Amino acid sequence: MADNAGMQQGSPAIGAAGLVPAAPGAGGTEGSGAAGGSARIAVKKAQLRSSPRPKKLEKLGVYSSCKAEGACKCNGWKSQNPPPTPPRTDQQSSAVNLQEPCRSCSHTLGDHVTHLENISEEEMNRLLGIVLDVEYLYTCVHKEEDADTKQVYFSLFKLLRKSIVQMGKPMLEAQDSPPFEKPSIEQGVNNFVQYKFSHLPSKERQTIMELAKMFLNQINYWQLETPSQRRQRVLNDDAAGYKANYTRWLCYCNVPQFCDSLPRYETTQIFGRTLLRSVFTVMRKQLLEQARQEKDKLPPEKRTLILTHFPKFLSMLEEEVYSHSSPIWSQDFLAGASGGQIPIRPGNALADRPSELTSDSGEKRKPTEPLPHEDSKRPRVVGDIPLELINEVMATITDPAAIPETSLLSAHSARDEAARLEERRGVIEFHVIGNSLNQKPNKRILMWLVGLQNVFSHQLPRMPKEYITRLVFDPKHKTLSLIKDGRVIGGICFRMFPSQGFTEIVFCAVTSNEQVKGYGTHLMNHLKEYHIKHEILNFLTYADEYAIGYFKKQGFSKDIKVPKAKYVGYIKDYEGATLMGCELNPSIPYTEFSVIIKKQKEIIKKLIERKQAQIRKVYPGLSCFKEGVRQIPIESIPGIRKKELKDPDQLYSTLKTILQHVKSHQNAWPFMEPVKKTEAPGYYQVIRFPMDLKTMSERLKSRYYTTRKLFMADMQRIFTNCREYNPPESEYYKCANLLEKFFYTKIKEAGLIEK
Ligand code: ACO
């Protein structure tokens, strides 16, 4: 591409209406960009359609081979008074004469268009449309300086010419036809919205959908950079892959925007993640830059959307676009029973993920919660609450995210709620940053690193300043930094040891006037999520004696789960500090954990209320005492059920005996302890409510089984889980059947259920 006068790679201009795509354009052709090309051709086509028939025949004759008798080889009529090259439609020749001889073969114009005599006006207009597209492409071929683009224009030019001669439909003879990748960009972005935002109240979700639409619209009008421009910008790229996609994009998306005789497809519908990856970074940068430049022109209702939400939306999407295992690109990202798509797990809100400014793009964790639609297939255990009921209740509870902020910050709210809210509003940001020897230093990151060094030095006065500086700037260390108003107010500096399966937390601090506001907790939650994503599930740290309380509240304990051999020699030893560890559970979305718990409590409360409403029955008061009766057996009070009054000690000892029998049974061995993840891959993704005899013994000991129903439900869960996870021919499955039979015999013998 010569000077980019026409085709400017990149943004189609935000426009005062707010990220409204500008008109399409092809590569470097007419003056102010080929954007105007589409409109100009449309005008010309309209003019030509209203021309007299001989004029139309003249136009078509130029592209039609001579039909005169004999072997005339002339492949197009040429006027004696040729118009400038290329032929122009607005060239008004006074009168068209079908008898006018061809400058080339001397046969008349009529001899060239005999095949068109009986065709309908509609077909004639269609062919003329192709003619104008051919002429436009002819200009493009001549003006274009980029070799790859020129070649594509020329191929399309030939294709369209051929289709005029053959009076056929222009069909691209590409080896592969659209769609070129699945899922499409549109589907992926759709999945992203479902994956990350489906938990939001509908109004917020609406906003997100608007952002997604806006983004997709931008891609559909995005001008891709030419393969040679890209080669200069990106080294070590899959150049051949990009060129193939660029060619497809020109043929199916870009050129058809102005040459409408070619079938047109939307970029977002026929391309997938590969193309998105090759444009995303540049596109994001340019869109944000334009938004900033045009911020004053934006209509007020679009300002917040574009200036506040759009950048966060793009950051989150970027993470999914470049992640190797994001579920949004999976063909199995399922559509829910209701027809719409369903989330795989509750996602984070707009700003709930730290972005990474260093180069390492990590693996995203896989969805861990079972898909809701699977519930219907799950075997039921006595006491299970029907999914429909839970859904109904969920629909009635107020989404915690929709609760006014003031009530969120009540005395009962979780420690990190205020911080989470601030993050959502964009008041604070989290970034994992680090010094890099491979990349050019980024000024902003360097400033943040200096800020972190200051916070750590002030908050950890016993640490030598030089030591802090050394570690903060050491490329092997990273720091999750907390930014407020562009300034660093806290952070956690850490070093990952993936081969050893743990990360050492080296420094952790929040600046004095921002402490005890929940930032420390939210920082740690982000750090946990970051590590789950990078598949490191253990933290170790030497906690300062004053910080032991804080670490305990974040789930750390002095009981270290990492084997000593794994960390001795790796982790730094600090005098006077206590080694503490924390094991992460990859199923927990830590930054959302307290919201989820809150929601669950709300659901349980509602379920209890419903149950109470069902069973509530008001009995008349007892009158017997007025009549002189002094004492009655408690079971005789109406409404009190005998079974529930069973002596708790008696129930306990009965259950203990049964459990003992079950544990001693020869088929009980697979169920003695919780299933080990290492022995049963994916077990905890399939089995939502694990249960085992050891857990049951602990529950019994702690007097959890206040009714036989609770006990039986747990036992039943063991058998149901086993049959769900294992195939019927497996030994485990058979053990479950036999032990179940035995269990029910024992229960009957004990009189807990009828024989
Ligand atoms: N001792 C006991 N509990 C504490 C302490 C402490 N020193 N600091 C915070 N907590 C409690 C809070 O009261 C709160 O409890 P709650 O949820 O029951 O109310 C909980 O821990 C979390 O509080 P946050 O507000 O989320 O944490 P904060 O933003 O205050 O940050 C931090 C905690 C980082 C420890 C901060 O207080 C700090 O910078 N302290 C000085 C530096 C320091 O001691 N760092 C740790 C050194 S050890 C190391 O770096 C490996």
Using CA atoms, how far residue 248 sits from 53, 149, 172, 175, 553, in Å, is 36, 11, 10, 11, 55
The mean of the pLDDT values for the chain is 80
DSSP type of residue 686: H
pLDDT at res. 22: 35
Measured in Å, residue 548 CA sits from the centre of ligand 1 at 9
Measured in Å, residue 519 CA sits from the centre of ligand 1 at 9
Atom nearest to 514 CA in ligand 1 = 29
* Minimal-distance CA residue to ligand 1 atom 7: 547
Asked if the bond preceding 179 is cis, omega within 30° of 0, the reply is: yes
At which residue do the structure tokens 């850490």 appear?
494
Higher per-residue pLDDT: 18 or 165: 165
Query: Is 515 annotated for ligand binding?
Result: yes
* C-alpha distance across the termini of the chain, in Å: 87
Task: Summarize the confidence of residues 53-63 as an average pLDDT.
Answer: 83
Q: Is the dihedral of CA 456, 432, 495, 554 positive or negative?
A: positive
Q: Tell the burial category of 610 from Cβ atoms under 10 Å away from its Cβ (0-12, 13-18, 19+).
A: middle
Higher per-residue pLDDT: 543 or 619: 543
Measured in Å, residue 513 CA sits from the centre of ligand 1 at 12
| Cα angle, residue 551 at apex, residues 546 and 552 outer, rounded to 5° | 105
pLDDT at res. 551: 97
Atom nearest to 577 CA in ligand 1 = 48
| Residue 636 CB neighbours (<10 A) | 10
- Which of 516, 546, 548, 594 to mutate to test ligand 1, by most ligand atoms within 8 A of the CB atom? 516
pLDDT at res. 17: 35
Choose from 136-145, 551-560, 572-581, 671-680 the range with maximum mean pLDDT.
551-560
Query: Is 519 annotated for ligand binding?
Result: yes
Higher per-residue pLDDT: 551 or 728: 551
Of 9-18, 89-98, 716-725, the range with the lowest mean pLDDT is 9-18
432 lines ligand 1 (CB under 6 A): no
543 lines ligand 1 (CB under 6 A): yes
| Residue 519 CB neighbours (<10 A) | 24
> What proportion of the chain, given as a percentage, has pLDDT over 90?
36
pLDDT at res. 408: 42
Query: Is 455 annotated for ligand binding?
Result: no
pLDDT at res. 361: 31
pLDDT at res. 234: 77
The count of residues in the chain is 755
* Minimal-distance CA residue to ligand 1 atom 27: 520
* Minimal-distance CA residue to ligand 1 atom 34: 509
| pLDDT band (50, 70, 90) for residue 397 | low
Question: HSE-up of 299 (CA within 13 Å, CB side)?
Answer: 8
pLDDT at res. 91: 45
| Residue 292 CB neighbours (<10 A) | 12
Atom nearest to 460 CA in ligand 1 = 42
Of 96-105, 360-369, 638-647, the range with the lowest mean pLDDT is 360-369
User: Rounded to an integer, what distance in angstroms lies between the CA atom of residue 112 and that of residue 98?
Assistant: 9
Choose from 364-373, 440-449, 531-540 the range with maximum mean pLDDT.
531-540
pLDDT score of 371 more than 60: no
pLDDT tens digit sequence for 24-57: 333 333 333 444 566 777 788 888 888 888 888 8
Task: Summarize the confidence of residues 351-377 as an average pLDDT.
Answer: 36
582 lines ligand 1 (CB under 6 A): no
| Cα angle, residue 586 at apex, residues 580 and 588 outer, rounded to 5° | 95
460 lines ligand 1 (CB under 6 A): yes
572 lines ligand 1 (CB under 6 A): no
* Minimal-distance CA residue to ligand 1 atom 40: 509
Query: Is 516 annotated for ligand binding?
Result: yes
Measured in Å, residue 444 CA sits from the centre of ligand 1 at 27
Q: Which of 723, 718, 668 has the alpha carbon at shortest distance from 696?
A: 718
Residues forming the active site? 504
User: Rounded to an integer, what distance in angstroms lies between the CA atom of residue 614 and that of residue 623?
Assistant: 26
Atom nearest to 511 CA in ligand 1 = 39
509 lines ligand 1 (CB under 6 A): yes
| pLDDT band (50, 70, 90) for residue 395 | confident
Higher per-residue pLDDT: 4 or 679: 679
Q: Which of 257, 424, 204, 296 has the alpha carbon at shortest distance from 18?
A: 296
* Minimal-distance CA residue to ligand 1 atom 29: 520
pLDDT tens digit sequence for 197-237: 877 777 777 888 888 998 999 999 899 999 998 888 877 67
Task: Summarize the confidence of residues 310-337 as an average pLDDT.
Answer: 76
| Residue 375 CB neighbours (<10 A) | 16
Atom nearest to 546 CA in ligand 1 = 7
Choose from 69-73, 352-356, 397-401, 525-529 the range with maximum mean pLDDT.
525-529
Strands 502-510 and 477-484: unpaired
Alpha-carbon Rg of the chain, whole angstroms?
36
Higher per-residue pLDDT: 391 or 446: 446
pLDDT at res. 383: 67
Contact 540, 575 (CB under 8 A): no
Task: Summarize the confidence of residues 496-510 as an average pLDDT.
Answer: 96
**For residue 734, what are its two tokens?**
């058979």
pLDDT tens digit sequence for 675-720: 987 787 778 877 888 999 999 999 999 999 988 889 999 999 999 9
Query: Is 488 annotated for ligand binding?
Result: no
214 lines ligand 1 (CB under 6 A): no
Which of 188-219 are b and which e, b meaning 16 or more Cβ less than 10 Å from the residue's Cβ? bbbbbbbbbbbbbeeebeebbeebbebbbbbb
550 lines ligand 1 (CB under 6 A): yes
* Minimal-distance CA residue to ligand 1 atom 26: 518
pLDDT score of 171 more than 50: yes
521 lines ligand 1 (CB under 6 A): yes
517 lines ligand 1 (CB under 6 A): yes
Task: Summarize the confidence of residues 257-274 as an average pLDDT.
Answer: 91
| Residue 100 CB neighbours (<10 A) | 18
User: Rounded to an integer, what distance in angstroms lies between the CA atom of residue 128 and that of residue 659?
Assistant: 87
Q: Which of 623, 647, 626 has the alpha carbon at shortest distance from 635?
A: 647
User: Rounded to an integer, what distance in angstroms lies between the CA atom of residue 543 and that of residue 550?
Assistant: 9
| pTM for the model | 0.49
Query: Is 517 annotated for ligand binding?
Result: yes
Task: Summarize the confidence of residues 733-741 as an average pLDDT.
Answer: 95
Query: Is 518 annotated for ligand binding?
Result: yes
Measured in Å, residue 754 CA sits from the centre of ligand 1 at 57
At which residue do the structure tokens 């977002």 appear?
268
Beta strands in 259-341 (DSSP E): none
Query: Is 549 annotated for ligand binding?
Result: yes
* Minimal-distance CA residue to ligand 1 atom 11: 550
pLDDT tens digit sequence for 270-293: 999 999 999 998 888 888 888 888
